[in-house]
Amino acid sequence: MDGDDEFRWLFAIEYPTVVRTVYFVLHDHARAEEIARDSFVQLLRHWGKVSRYDSPEAWVRRVAIRLAIRDAKRERRLALLTPRGTAEMQTYDTVMDVALPRHRAVRRPGRPDAARGRCLRPVRPRRRTYARALPA
């Protein structure tokens, strides 16, 4: 069996498995198929080296998982930076309010908001002190 036949055989056998693996990461079948195709394109590019591995199917599966994780992170960042329901650009203040929900905009003395923008710093909960009766 020559290199092209080996690649075709590996593609035919492993493509559904790779799509299923990527689907478990992304929960989107169309994106899973696209990433699986991209991973097999990378496999074809590196076929001279990868074909000598003990398990080239593990290599292509690992590449697909990495691409899926990268895509999921990109989608998560995009969801944080765009308002719900629109894809318009936002001001820095609105993006920071969405991206850092546990922070609150607080004015710092000596820094006008118009010149410096809103300054963000974490809001710390107040510490409570309790008087405890000491044993006598």
Band of the pLDDT at 77, cuts 50, 70, 90?
Answer: confident
pLDDT in tens, 12-56: 999 999 999 999 999 999 999 999 999 999 999 999 999 899 999
Q: How far apart are CA 107 and CA 15, in angstroms?
A: 55
Residue 55 CB contacts under 8 Å (≥ 6 apart), including other chains: none
Q: What's the predicted TM-score (pTM) here?
A: 0.58
List CB contacts of 8: < 8 A, sequence separation 6 or more.
none
Task: Tell me what the mean pLDDT of segment 51-72 comes to.
Answer: 93
Can you give the pLDDT at residue 119? Answer: 52
Confidence (pLDDT) at 81: 82
